[in-house]
């Protein structure tokens, strides 16, 4: 009996040691989608075929109240630095707006995940995909801690070549490490190119005993909606049922999966979107094609995720690798052809000769059951589907409903790697982290979380404190919601609870002053 007890104790001790080893300096993979809504994945209510991402969710954790910063540049900044975007210099986009908080590129008071994991824990560091946190050399990936980088600098590019579509100040669209590269019409589809660089980089370090940090930042499904013909064909005709029925179907699927609560209502169709049944057959066909292209883009991105996961398994790296998946903001209501700085093309929809977006009606579907879109700080703009996968560490099929934010990703990575965030880095004083490690969430342990979370983007602003959320669009009065009862933001309680509005506003204004928020009306013309 004594020997049996000793054996059991040894086995238990060994399993605990094994678990500790597994979570000490794991490989870290972050996969980011671009302009993909809360309900665009199969595991988050969608009809789009996403088996590989769904598998990560099925074998891992879904966080159903995870937040981004409302738009690509601010969100990516928060993800990489653990700070609110204003604190790192990217309160808006990549153009200077007359204030340090809106200088348009990563400042000297922040460090990226890659910089700290590389210098403090010996990680190999790789980025493949959209960068968009500044155009100055000091803010580019090869100067921000990444050993290997294939990056797109601007916010939108053709998926088939390097032709600039949107003039945001960048004269270079793509870079391979520290040099410009050109993609032409015979280049592989951009989503595949991003996947391939990630896989090739993993192959190059396969014999290295050091852990790696891989940041895969897909441009899909950001406009222009362009996809491979064979991918589009799989979805053509499937959206003739229309956005009204599809929103209801996604809503019911979200309810059935437990991602949303049964008493959260489906918000009304956006007032700028017509009823589907009011459209002509020709209009229905046009819109069906638009959504088929968008769905095809997500489908191809999911295939890329599958290729990366297969590569990890082939290299024997999958058992000690954590994978985090999210989207940088909600579905986009942008009408790309109305933007004066976008080159106009009218070729076959979805091809290299076309420039389209899927606009308000379909973005309204993407963000089911929420209101509004990318750029807004209502839930439709800032709610992200977040998935974490770590075999043997994260309980399969688990769900966490606590509010968390992109600012929590940096401290989580550091915690997993055993790195303490420094006060100084390369003789630069660093701003203290705003986020908190999610390690306890990953381990299904108690997590204290945030007292409050804040947002500001181009005058759209919000604070979430507990279940209360105070939110307003630019030049509009505050709205107040109890998100426990009404996360769809359908019942404004501001008039009923004026004292709550005043208290939350005071806390928001204190934060805004701290991080450098400036009245958008005073800077938007710069």
Q: What confidence tens digit (pLDDT) does each residue in 208-255 have?
A: 999 999 999 999 999 999 999 999 999 999 999 999 999 999 999 999
DSSP string, 149-204: EEEE-SS-B-SSS--B-B-SS-S--EEETTEEE---TTSPPHHHHHHHHHHHHHHH
Q: What's residue 166's pLDDT? A: 61
Range of the domain at 425: 27-43+60-522
C-alpha distances in angstroms, 378 versus 51, 366, 372, 401, 488?
29, 14, 6, 18, 9
d(CA 491, CA 55) in angstroms, rounded, equals 36
Q: What confidence tens digit (pLDDT) does each residue in 133-145 have?
A: 999 999 999 999 9
Centroid of chain to Cα 192: 19
Instruction: Give the torsion sign (CA, 142, 145, 148, 151).
Output: negative
d(CA 155, CA 175) in angstroms, rounded, equals 14
Q: Residue 370 — φ and ψ, nearest 5°?
A: -90, 170
Contact of 328 with 72, CB cutoff 8 Å: yes
R_g over Cα of the chain: 22
11 inside domain: no
Q: What's residue 14's pLDDT? A: 37
Q: What's residue 525's pLDDT? A: 67
Residue 258 CB neighbour total at 10 angstroms? 12
446 inside domain: yes
CA count, 13 A, side-chain hemisphere, 41: 32
d(CA 323, CA 412) in angstroms, rounded, equals 12
d(CA 357, CA 225) in angstroms, rounded, equals 6
How much of the chain, in percent, has pLDDT values that exceed 70? 93
Q: What confidence tens digit (pLDDT) does each residue in 299-308 have?
A: 999 999 999 9
Q: What confidence tens digit (pLDDT) does each residue in 92-109 have?
A: 999 999 999 999 999 999
Q: What confidence tens digit (pLDDT) does each residue in 155-173 have?
A: 778 899 887 666 555 567 8
Q: What's residue 168's pLDDT? A: 53
Q: Residue 188 — φ and ψ, nearest 5°?
A: -65, 155
Residue 33 is classified by DSSP as: E
Q: What's residue 2's pLDDT? A: 44
SS3 470: strand
d(CA 485, CA 131) in angstroms, rounded, equals 37
Contact of 124 with 210, CB cutoff 8 Å: yes
Strands 174-176 and 179-181, by their bridges, are antiparallel
- What number is the average pLDDT over the span 68-83? 98
Strands 460-465 and 468-472, by their bridges, are antiparallel
Instruction: Give the torsion sign (CA, 422, 423, 425, 430).
Output: positive
Task: Establish whether the linkage from the previous residue to 369 is cis, with ω within 30° of 0.
Answer: yes
Q: What confidence tens digit (pLDDT) does each residue in 352-366 have?
A: 999 899 999 999 999
Contact of 104 with 89, CB cutoff 8 Å: yes
Q: Is the pLDDT of residue 20 over 80?
A: no
Q: Residue 400 — φ and ψ, nearest 5°?
A: -120, 135
463 inside domain: yes
Q: Is the pLDDT of residue 62 over 50?
A: yes
244 inside domain: yes
DSSP string, 78-133: HHHHSS-GGGGT-SSSSS--SSGGGSSS--TT---HHHHHHHHH--EEEEEEE--S
How many domains does the chain contain in total?
Answer: 1
Q: Is the pLDDT of residue 116 over 90?
A: yes
State the alpha helices, DSSP H only, in 82-122.
113-121
How large is the greatest C-alpha to C-alpha distance in the chain, in angstroms?
Answer: 81
Q: Residue 47 — φ and ψ, nearest 5°?
A: -90, -10
- pLDDT bin (cut points 50, 70, 90) of residue 523 is confident
- CATH code of the domain covering residue 460: 3.40.720.10
SS3 99: coil
408 inside domain: yes
9 inside domain: no
13 inside domain: no
Residue 525 CB neighbour total at 10 angstroms? 7
4 inside domain: no
Comparing C-alpha atoms, which of 506, 462, 507 is closest to residue 481? 462
Strands 460-465 and 61-67, by their bridges, are unpaired
User: Residue 265 burial (CB < 10 Å; 0-12/13-18/19+)?
Assistant: middle
- What number is the average pLDDT over the span 15-38? 76
Average pLDDT, the chain: 93
User: Residue 392 burial (CB < 10 Å; 0-12/13-18/19+)?
Assistant: exposed
Residue 502 CB neighbour total at 10 angstroms? 12
Q: What's residue 155's pLDDT? A: 77
C-alpha distances in angstroms, 279 versus 237, 276, 468?
15, 6, 39
User: Residue 449 burial (CB < 10 Å; 0-12/13-18/19+)?
Assistant: middle
Residue 133 is classified by DSSP as: S
The pTM for the full model equals 0.94
Residue 374 is classified by DSSP as: T
Q: What confidence tens digit (pLDDT) does each residue in 450-478 have?
A: 999 999 999 999 999 999 999 999 999 99
Q: Which residues of 78-112 are buried (b: 16+ CB within 10 A; e: fewer)?
A: bbbbbbbbbbbbbbbbbeebebebbbbbbbebbbb
Q: What's residue 344's pLDDT? A: 73
Centroid of chain to Cα 48: 18
């Amino acid at each position: 009996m004594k020997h049996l007890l000793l054996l059991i104790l040894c086995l238990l001790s060994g399993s605990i040691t094994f678990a500790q080893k597994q979570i000490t300096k794991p490989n870290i993979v972050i996969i980011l989608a671009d302009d993909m809504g809360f309900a665009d994945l199969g595991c988050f209510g969608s009809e789009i075929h996403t088996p590989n991402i769904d598998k990560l969710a099925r074998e891992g954790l879904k966080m159903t109240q995870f937040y981004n910063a409302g738009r690509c540049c601010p969100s990516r900044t928060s993800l990489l630095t653990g700070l609110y975007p204003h604190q790192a210099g990217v309160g808006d986009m990549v153009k200077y707006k007359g204030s340090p908080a809106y200088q348009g590129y990563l400042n000297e008071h922040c460090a990226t995940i890659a910089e700290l994991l590389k210098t403090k824990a010996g990680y190999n560091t790789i980025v493949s995909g959209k960068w968009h946190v500044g155009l100055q050399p000091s803010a580019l990936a090869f100067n921000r801690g990444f050993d290997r980088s294939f990056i797109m600098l601007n916010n939108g590019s053709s998926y088939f070549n390097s032709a600039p579509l949107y003039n945001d100040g960048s004269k270079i669209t793509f870079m391979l490490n520290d040099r410009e590269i050109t993609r032409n019409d015979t280049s592989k589809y951009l989503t595949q190119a991003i996947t391939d660089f990630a896989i090739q980089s993993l192959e190059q370090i396969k014999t290295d005993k050091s852990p790696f940090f891989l940041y895969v930042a897909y441009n899909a499904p950001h406009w222009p909606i362009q996809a491979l013909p064979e991918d589009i064909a799989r979805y053509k005709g499937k959206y003739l049922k229309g956005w009204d029925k599809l929103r209801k179907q996604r809503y019911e699927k979200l309810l059935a999966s437990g991602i949303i609560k049964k008493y959260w209502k489906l918000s009304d169709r956006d007032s700028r979107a017509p009823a589907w049944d009011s459209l002509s057959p020709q209009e229905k066909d046009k819109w069906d094609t638009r959504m088929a292209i968008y769905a095809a883009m997500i489908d191809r991105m999911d295939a890329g995720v599958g290729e990366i996961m297969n590569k990890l398994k082939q290299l024997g790296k999958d058992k000690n690798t954590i994978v985090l998946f999210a989207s940088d903001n909600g579905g986009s209501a942008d009408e790309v052809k109305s933007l004066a700085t976008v080159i106009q093309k009218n070729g076959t929809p979805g091809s290299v000769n076309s420039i389209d977006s899927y606009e308000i009606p379909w973005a309204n579907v993407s963000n089911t059951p929420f209101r509004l879109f990318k750029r807004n700080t209502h839930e439709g703009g800032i709610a992200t589907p977040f998935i974490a996968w770590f075999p043997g560490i994260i309980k399969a099929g688990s769900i966490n409903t606590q509010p968390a934010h992109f600012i929590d990703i940096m401290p989580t990575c550091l915690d997993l790697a055993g790195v303490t965030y420094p006060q100084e880095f390369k003789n630069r004083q660093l701003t203290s982290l705003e986020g908190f490690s999610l390690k306890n969430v990953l381990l299904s342990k108690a997590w204290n979380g945030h007292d409050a979370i804040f947002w500001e983007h181009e005058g759209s602003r919000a604070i979430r404190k507990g279940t209360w959320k105070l939110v307003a669009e630019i030049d509009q009065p505050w709205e107040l919601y109890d998100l426990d009862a009404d996360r769809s933001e359908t019942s404004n309680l501001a008039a009923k609870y004026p004292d709550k509005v005043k208290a939350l506003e005071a806390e928001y204004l204190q934060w805004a002053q701290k991080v450098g928020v400036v009245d958008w009306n005073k800077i938007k013309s710069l």
